[in-house]
A and B are shown apart, each in its own frame.
Chain A
């Protein structure tokens, strides 16, 4: 049985909660649900009236705890709502609950969580066992709870975050749409930081249309986020996109296929449907152009240095003093050394993956390593950005210098697989081992370049007739600020399902 989503909009708010009650025990997406509003909030004409939206547990809500799936914040409730949550509430949405994720967003399988792993709700149509007894696969991470909640119909849409693929990977594994918008479009005020320069709020829904519906509500400038891009720059990017692709027609669309994004690790079950989707767009008039992004092989290491360095810095505040977990030292300990107090709380409060990245990041920032790691990674990050500017027809409106001239024969978007494989088995010893090894990191190879460059990236599920195969996602990546264009291309991909 493929878990499909029922029609939204007409159902009452209580029905979302009924699905949670029926299915969450076997999915572990929700870690906390809100009270059913006694009366519908706001008027009927609000954009999200009667829609339930789930929020990743890294995004602050004043009425529910925000744990980041960490023992460190297990009982933490923020004194304020994140800006994105406020915007949803103002649009009439029912913030139905908080959903599971990897601890502080660090992980690709949603297994590093104090709430336990998220189980992928998908089941092959050929399977003969009951849905509850289905094969236990990962929902992807870090926003596994968001993806699983959406695909089971526990909510209309879910907020996720994406630092290096945390929205696109679970979207791909679960078979839904996941948008990582351009960096700086959606406010990060109230979003618990993993790596500030990469973190984006993501939107997940079953269709491109509903993803856009929620994205449009959140896409506003926020003075409380210093990295929130000005309305002027937003408008400039839209203008450039319109100038380059005025018809919004598939026949005028130039699609780049970056060969670096088809590594040898790519599994056949991914490659074939991705190829078919590209062929489909080509047959409908799109121009397909092979392109090269030569800095891609270095992107992953640069990503891990930068994200870990920023994470080690951001995690420093969890010391058990102001809020969150505090583990007292055993009786008789030396109390004169405050370091032992911090070490005790942090050793107990942080999981292994977070500890590993803190150590890696701390090392990268030490005086001896800084030049070779952090600065080098920043240079690679610039090169990655320039790679993209070299292939896109739309200029980069944020770059003042325009180090790279915009090519006339460039492309509008890039297409590539969202992940190198379908959802891995949770019980799998190999997968368990790879959770802690380098293999998990290789999975991120397809998603981190867009994060490093701050570009919009959308994962769209590929046609999967009657749930005969595990879901596969294809990613659409555009120039900074071209989120609208990326969503339009996503719509074309979605339409190929019916064509």
Chain B
């Protein structure tokens, strides 16, 4: 079954069926392949002891003599990076190679201190694999996975006309994951990248964050009239969001179609960039201008031998894969597929653990998963988003949010007070428990009926004209009276209970 569905999907019938559905370019088939570079989430760099860095750190603080290509330094392969590459290979059903090796890719650029990048050109660590994406029968085939070094970061200041180089990133491990040309629309391309992100995050191989640069995509696009052989491809480099990637593909399809629609028109093979302001692709270099990278086997690193024992060990310790998690969330936690996907696509939390792990933790103490989801996604995440933050900024521990949920569920806190408390906890994070904070804020629900009765009577007494209006049939006025009650109790009153009490008091007054 699997092997069958792995076959190239080039049957004419399928091409027609898929392509004709795309009203944007009727009669044309779009062929897309994606090359992603995912920063490996290891503590240290690929070949040196320097720590890896995160965005926003001061420049040039994680640099060893090796990273700066000082003479006399030699690489030492970080086996943690290899393990994460192996996990990725296993997750992508890819064939781990018993023997792989490293090569030097040469070019002169200020972000490459040694004048070469160590990569796996001739013998990658893993070959042929596949990844399933939603709404598509056949999986996307993975051509290969290779380990390589990230480059330094150079920024050009046009005002001072100077280039600045930050070596923090130089030598961080990258996983280059290359697909076969199996994708057929911008949407499929987006779905593939999202699926890949989810896998990399689930197995802890990478943050997969495109905005932060820990996942970058190069996209190959070609178009051809349906039923004709594939056209000439153009590569669009360095796309740093799924939205931009899809926009770039759409632009590229239209551009190539315009070229091919002219009499004798051809698409020249070239490498293109994407302008985020104009949302257009632009020519960087033609095939003739492509650099000769002079690949050479690295004479220091030798052969990387992966034993079957090592693969088996990693297979046994594999974290749950996204599609397994998704099925579990839907089947066991009774979440909708849509809600499951929301959880799966969230950034990792502050401690680096995934949002799903956070969710699972909350559900552990026999809390109802749908209630947990509601608090975690609609309330907590909603609040964070309002403040332009993401789940990665979430300051609440699972025990804090869990206790808050318990307080509301037990009735100790009204829903309104619970939301107020959450807002308070996010605005001023502390190690205090929600109970302590609720007490300090006098938010704990007053469920003594005596109190509510008194406040409701006081409300009617305080708002005689409103009470009169209600009695004359203006039922909406009740909300105003209820609002007075809630204001007076600072939200502690159970609004349902208060409403009933107000009704009974008002009705009673009518009767005599």
Contact = CB atoms under 8 A, between A and B. Distances in A.
Interface string B289-311: 00010111001111000000000
B284 to A, nearest CB: 15
Contact of B165 (A79, A313, A321): A321
Interface in B48-94: 65, 68-77
A192 B108 contact: no
Interface stretch (B113-121, B390-398, B449-457): B113-121
B113 A317 contact: yes
A392 interface: no
Contacts of A20: none
A224 B301 CA distance: 12
Contacts of B295: 365, 370
B374 interface: no
B159 interface: no
Interface in A328-344: 335, 338-339, 342
A59 B109 CA distance: 27
Given A342-B108, A365-B294, A317 B115 contact: yes
Contact of A313 (B71, B76, B115): B115
B302 A190 contact: no
Contacts, number: 97
B115 to A, nearest CB: 2
B114 A191 contact: no
A196 interface: yes
A79 B294 contact: no
B71 A78 contact: yes
A86 interface: no
Nearest to A198: B299
Residue among A190, A226, A374 with max Cβ neighbours from chain B (10 Å): A226
A403 interface: no
A78 B71 CA distance: 8
B315 interface: no
Interface string B419-451: 000000000000000000000000000000000
Contacts of A339: 108
A313 B106 contact: yes
B21 interface: no
Interface in A134-177: none
A367 B292 contact: yes
B161 interface: yes
A196 B74 CA distance: 10
Nearest to A189: B74
A299 B106 CA distance: 26
A103 to B, nearest CB: 13
Contact of A309 (B75, B109, B296): B296
Interface string A87-125: 000000000000000000000000000000000000000
Residue among B71, B104, B296 with max Cβ neighbours from chain A (10 Å): B71
B72 A60 contact: yes
A45 B104 CA distance: 46
A412 interface: no
Interface string B359-394: 000000000000000000000000000000000000
A68 B71 contact: yes
A323 B73 CA distance: 14
A73 interface: yes
B110 interface: yes
A310 B298 CA distance: 9
Interface in B297-338: 299-302
A225 B301 CA distance: 9
Contacts of B75: 226
A370 B106 CA distance: 14
Residue among B74, B104, B110, B300 with max Cβ neighbours from chain A (10 Å): B74
Contacts of A319: 108, 115
Interface string A219-257: 000011111000000000000000000000000000000
Given A322-B68, A322-B69, 10 more contacts: A60-B71, A82-B72, A189-B72, A189-B73, A226-B301, A313-B116, A316-B106, A342-B108, A362-B294, A366-B294
16 contacts: A190-B73, A192-B72, A193-B71, A195-B299, A196-B300, A227-B74, A310-B299, A315-B115, A316-B114, A322-B69, A322-B70, A338-B108, A365-B294, A366-B294, A370-B294, A370-B295
Interface of B: 65, 68-77, 104, 106, 108-110, 113-116, 161, 165, 292, 294-296, 299-302
Shortest 6 CB-CB contacts between residues of A and residues of B: A316-B115, A365-B294, A197-B299, A196-B299, A317-B69, A190-B72
